[in-house]
Amino acid sequence: MKVLLLKDVYKLGRAGDVKKVADGYGRNFLLPQKLAVLATPGVIKQSERIRSAALADRARLNQEMGAVAEKLTAVTLNFSARAGETGRLFGSITTGDISAAIERETGIHIDRRHIAHQPLRELGTHKVPIRLTVDLIPEVVVVVRGEGEEGQAAVAAPVPAAAPIPAAPPAPTE
């Protein structure tokens, strides 16, 4: 089935492109979501108009999301998880966990489906890309530590003792 994309579709194409897709994908997803229309000769003539309108929308959206992207690149998310001796996590840090942490840290809601990364299953520092728009993909730094590492760091670095508080002088008695 040939379709003309009305909007940018991730991993398929940009608005105004004519693409050949599987019948089920076009019939059950692209057409009902109003992401594409059947590519008839009349519609193909309109593709340049659709492409230019989408280009203007994309530029406007990139401009608006630029500030959000700058905020996200400055964010470092810290996670604590149980891990084996080899550094492999017993569970994983999922895109849902990352999305919730971003919202908690910055107040910006990011849909978990826009986080373009597999679940994290290793200790260490990871750069996780976030698809804000087709052209704008900032990376967030995610640090995954073992559960015992924070406790060991606190024991290793002794806290300096606070200065003693002088005792109050005894009250005069008569």
Q: What is the CATH number of the domain that holds 8?
A: 3.40.5.10
Range of the domain at 95: 70-154
Q: Is residue 21 part of a domain?
A: yes
Distance CA 49, CA 10 (A): 21
Give the model's pLDDT for residue 149: 64
Query: Does the structure show a pLDDT above 70 at 2?
Result: yes
Please, where are the H alpha helices in 12-137?
Answer: 23-25, 41-45, 47-73, 95-106
Query: What's the whole-number average pLDDT of the chain?
Result: 84
Query: Does the structure show a pLDDT above 70 at 72?
Result: yes
83 and 139 assigned to the same domain: yes
Residue 83 exposure: Cα atoms within 13 Å on the Cβ side: 21
Q: What's the rounded mean pLDDT across residues 32-36?
A: 94
27 and 95 assigned to the same domain: no
Split at pLDDT 50, 70, 90, the class of 144 is very high
Do the Cβ atoms of 38 and 3 come closer than 8 Å? yes
Number of domains within the chain: 2
Token digits for 73?
């690149």
For 112, list phi and psi in degrees, rounded to 5: -60, -25
Q: Tens digit of pLDDT for each residue in 108-139?
A: 899 998 898 888 999 999 999 999 888 888 99
Strands 139-146 and 124-129: antiparallel
Q: Tens digit of pLDDT for each residue in 44-55?
A: 888 888 889 988
Please report, rounded to a whole number, the percentage of residues in the chain having pLDDT higher than 90.
41
